[in-house]
Structure 1
Amino acid sequence: MHRPVIEVTRVRNPFQQEAVTRDGDGVPRYADVPATLLDLLRAQVDARPDAEAVVELGGDRLTYAQLWERAARVAGGLRAGGVRRGDRVAVRYPAGTSWVLAFWGTVMAGGVAVAVNTRSAPPEVEFVLGDAGVTVDLSAGTPLPDGDPYVTRDLVATDVAAFFYTSGTTGRPKGVPTTHEAFVTNAENMIRCFGLPRDAGPALRTLISVPLFHVTGCNSQLLVAAYVGGAAVIMPTLGLPELARALATERISFMVTVPAVYSLLLRHPAFADADVSGVRTVAYGGAPIAPSLVRSLRKAFPGASLVNGYGMTETAALITALPDQDTEEHADSVGYAAPSVDLGVVPIGADPNVGELVVRGANVTTGYWDRPEATAETVVDGWLHTGDIVRVDDAGRVHIIDRSKDIIIRGGENVSSVEVEAALLSAPGVADAAVLAVPDDVMGEKVGAVLVADGEPIDVDAVIAHCRDLLADFKVPQYATVVTEALPRNAGGKLLKNQLRRQVRWGAPLR
């Protein structure tokens, strides 16, 4: 029997709910937004064909007309190669115009863009390609398809436009089908929650320093820029001097990145002379933020509003946002529900305001790709269970107090502890292993490994080298400690990580 959901009040919610309707199941939806991503993009192509749409630092610049024309040729090439409605196309280019053209071209062809983490190790990539049933793999070194222009004409809001993959408690990535409506809903929520001008046009220029295979980079920046006719300025690789310089040279008005990057940027010599006069919105999320960093950001960007956003791959990005007026006094909060998102709490004790956060809305996935059991566990009675344990205050602000899924958030990157534990357990000499988050002032959290030897001394360097062959670099443990006693487990064999956290003392980080 499922525990009841206690819905979070909107009495003091500051975000506008105009034109939010409810369907027959009570799910909130927008009544006046574009039906599909192609409708969204075509509106800007017609309104401002010569305005910049996409800029790759050190690479191509595309106007809206050029973006449409070149993406249509990619679509034509995909169709000529056999791609049909609903076929999955992997997008594995580095961040830049090729990635964008592959994404839009796949959508125009009627296919489903599968955003693959370019930092993944080969076994991880192969799993995703196989799991998604990819028919075309567009990756670095592979030219963009080219053919006669083609644009699918009969897409609808409920069609799936893309898969993004996320790691869960099992450690195996899960595909999240994301519909056109989910993408468009997130863009509208971003406009309302982040105070972005709806008629900004070319004045909105967002600097994308996070990966495009993440929902933050794609959904909350690239597509938001397209929604208002602005420009998405993409950094192929993150470099702090380049980031500081681009603020002025690219006339950036809207920034989004993780607290770790802001912390490093503010301390970098290149930022001392950076021209930030055009920056109007400084947004952050993906990891806890220190109140001192919030104050530093306000001082460093005096003309900007600060906004904290919280979301998931399963929700096409934004769930909640903390507006500028709350960012200092309530720095530990991720904010209020987005306008078209319902929040609820499934209490874990007597306090009805403390428990697991659940969400529903048109931006929320109805289930995982080909994972009926995971879907049944996560989506219950129309509510998606986030796995985050929260406290909701009297104003309706959400405060995350624990992560029931044991996900480590390292500088905005999600790391499944179970996945890392599996890699450790496959290393020579390791009899048992546990992975814990190690608090870090810059990255928020880093990955720590507790190792139990199988009788002979453990070669920690060899174990870490083994992990590097199996895991993306950000998942490889940066701390390790070897213990001689058995790891604490309950009668069912589950690791008692809270007890282990109290026992472990971390030494210096690994080189």
Structure 2
Amino acid sequence: MMSIAPTVVAATRATVARVPDAEAVVDLGTGRRLTYSQLWERATGVAGGLATEGVGAGERVGLALPNGADWTVALLGILLAGAVPVPINPRLTGPEHRHIVTDSGAVRVIDAELPEGSPVELDDVDPESPAAIFYTSGTTGAPKGAMLSHRALLSAAEQVRIAYGLEPDDGLRALVAAPLFHVLACGMQWIPALVSGGCVVLLPAFEVGAWVAAIEDEQIEILNGVPAMFWHALHHETFRGLDVSGVRVLSYGAAPTPPAQARALREAFPRARLAPGYGLTEAPCVTGLQDADAVDHPGSVGTAVAGTELRLLGPEADAGIGQLLVRGPQLMSGYWGRPETTAEVLVDGWLHTGDIVRIDREGRVHMLDRRTDLINRGGENVYSVEVEAALAACPAVAESAVVGVPDQRLGSRVGACIVPRPGVRFDEEELVRAVRETLASFKVPELLSLRSTPLPRNAAGKVDKAALRAQSGWTELPRHPAT
């Protein structure tokens, strides 16, 4: 990898010096536009306001604003004050919000007006000190604060640049609809743009019509999202005839991509590089799939990104299946205030991801399941991602999620939560017959939850399987449909 700046502040300062009048942020919610010099000027004012309030170096400051220009100004302002940003989902309930504030020890939360004061530009801090503390989604317990150092965030930004095939100063316009409080949008979209002198075009939230319109109106060159976002965009009434010739990169992940959708993306964006990948809060960038493999191997999330090593752990590791272990400069330093938990997942420099994967002979990683989502059906392991991929190939299925449903006899049974595709006839027997062609019988869903609304998702765009496991009202699927 190329030489990177020591800190996010140093990287931003260099960009401001290089391209002060370049557009840095476009806020589609308010209509505000900031150049890099304006972004820096306003951030130094926030830093001055925090200093006036007595916020000291190393203290944590919560950031609970919605997507917008103020969010970017606030985060840089917190760093310029020498403090540590703690991004918080502004839609959290009172107890959820208080947990993060209390757990992080935040001395201040920016959730409305930005602090203002005389400009302050604190000298750069230790590159290994936290640049931000991102809290996990909490799907397997109380949210934990993953500390990402300046070095980690900037390493991830450089890995993104290489994975996308961009030049070091290739400042591109990226459309960001994912929430900035999550490392996906902040670390994988905004920070890379900040380093390269690019522009982030921010939507308050994903709304397919606004997202599609912005592609042409704002001359977007990088699109990032979960597969469901692209599916909705391709089927939106205004997409046909849209000028997408400027789009150079399509980045997606967090859910399986059906082969048909990968082919559809290639056809819809003929000049774009397809760049699916995989990462997590504790390691923002882990793998990326080469453009040449995106259609032929859509079930893979790619090979290790630059500067990253992968290993497998478990009894089937020699056969290429096991828990994924990751080592590289982009890893978190640990969980804030949780040394015991940190020691469990960071062992000798290796992050134990908790994700069960298969690595093929070419080094491509194929996601199988989270350890917590693995379904043990009568002693047989069923990987939900594998079943979801089979369901995604069914024409009548728009969305699906597979979970284990408790069963006294088998321990767990395979349950499928399905959102039917509008305008397509849904037939249970046809569904079972189709998945039986590619799956062993014990993997075929036995229970069905048919939904008329989209699957519940967390802030990262991942399906909330804990909520699905807790639901009732499952119906039996036919086990042996007529042939």
Whether these two folds match at TM > 0.5 is yes
Change (3 A) 1:196 1:437: farther
User: Structure 2: how far apart are the matches of 1:385 and 1:321?
Assistant: 19
Tell me if the contact between 2:256 and 2:299 (Cα under 8 Å) persists in the aligned partners.
yes
Tell me if the contact between 1:481 and 1:506 (Cα under 8 Å) persists in the aligned partners.
no
Give the equivalent residue in structure 2 for 1:176.
146
Q: Which moved more, 1:177-186 or 1:161-170?
A: 161-170
Q: Deviations over 1:66-109 (max 9, x none)?
A: 00000000000011111111111111111001111111100111
Cα deviation, residue 438, structure 1: 3.2
Q: How does 1:283-302 map to 2 (within 5 A)?
A: 283-302=251-270
User: Structure 2: how far apart are the matches of 1:355 and 1:84?
Assistant: 44
Give the equivalent residue in structure 1 for 2:34.
62
Does residue 33 of structure 1 match 2:4? Answer: yes
User: Structure 2: how far apart are the matches of 1:387 and 1:478?
Assistant: 20
* Equivalent residue in structure 1 for 2:326, among 356, 359, 365: 359
Runs of 4+ residues over 6 Å off in structure 1: 407-410, 433-437
Q: How does 1:185-264 map to 2 (within 5 A)?
A: 185-201=155-171, 204-264=172-232
Tell me if the contact between 1:158 and 1:180 (Cα under 8 Å) persists in the aligned partners.
yes
Change (3 A) 1:479 1:394: closer
Tell me if the contact between 2:357 and 2:365 (Cα under 8 Å) persists in the aligned partners.
yes
Tell me if the contact between 1:169 and 1:405 (Cα under 8 Å) persists in the aligned partners.
no
Q: Deviations over 1:424-455 (max 9, x none)?
A: xxxxxxxxx9997736688xxxxxxxxxxxxx
User: Structure 2: how far apart are the matches of 1:89 and 1:505?
Assistant: 50
Q: TM-score, normalised by structure 1?
A: 0.75
- 2:352 is paired with a residue of what secondary structure? strand
Amino acid at match of 1:396: G
- 1:384 is paired with a residue of what secondary structure? strand
Q: Which moved more, 1:238-247 or 1:472-481?
A: 472-481
Give the equivalent residue in structure 2 for 1:157.
127
User: Structure 1: how far apart are the matches of 2:288 and 2:95?
Assistant: 36
Q: Deviations over 1:237-279 (max 9, x none)?
A: 2211111111111110011000010011111102113221110
Give the equivalent residue in structure 2 for 1:124.
96
Q: Which has the higher contact order (CA 8 A, sep 6+)?
A: 1
Tell me if the contact between 2:255 and 2:462 (Cα under 8 Å) persists in the aligned partners.
no
Cα deviation, residue 481, structure 1: 5.6
Percent sequence identity over matched residues? 42
Q: How does 1:266-281 map to 2 (within 5 A)?
A: 266-281=234-249
Change (3 A) 1:479 1:398: closer
Change (3 A) 1:320 1:302: same
Does residue 114 of structure 1 match 2:101? Answer: no
Tell me if the contact between 1:480 and 1:506 (Cα under 8 Å) persists in the aligned partners.
no
User: Structure 1: how far apart are the matches of 2:132 and 2:150?
Assistant: 8
* Contiguous gaps of at least 5 residues in structure 2: 375-383, 389-400, 407-411, 422-455, 479-483
* Equivalent residue in structure 2 for 1:91, among 63, 69, 73: 63
Q: Deviations over 1:371-422 (max 9, x none)?
A: 1221122111211100011111111111111210339999xxxx9x99xx9x
Q: TM-score, normalised by structure 2?
A: 0.79
* Contiguous gaps of at least 5 residues in structure 1: 1-17, 20-31, 422-432, 443-466, 484-502
User: Structure 2: how far apart are the matches of 1:334 and 1:260?
Assistant: 16
Amino acid at match of 1:191: R
Amino acid at match of 1:112: V
Q: CA RMSD in A?
A: 3.0
Amino acid at match of 1:181: R
Tell me if the contact between 1:119 and 1:473 (Cα under 8 Å) persists in the aligned partners.
no
Q: Deviations over 1:117-169 (max 9, x none)?
A: 23322221111111111111111xx2100000001103121111111011456
Change (3 A) 1:473 1:256: closer
- 1:282 is paired with a residue of what secondary structure? strand
Does residue 372 of structure 1 match 2:342? Answer: no
Change (3 A) 1:436 1:63: farther
Change (3 A) 1:291 1:109: same
User: Structure 2: how far apart are the matches of 1:186 and 1:312?
Assistant: 11
User: Structure 1: how far apart are the matches of 2:467 and 2:138?
Assistant: 18
Change (3 A) 1:377 1:168: farther
- 1:269 is paired with a residue of what secondary structure? coil
Amino acid at match of 1:37: V
* Equivalent residue in structure 2 for 1:344, among 277, 286, 311: 311
Q: Which moved more, 1:272-281 or 1:76-85?
A: 272-281
Does residue 138 of structure 1 match 2:110? Answer: yes
- 1:173 is paired with a residue of what secondary structure? coil
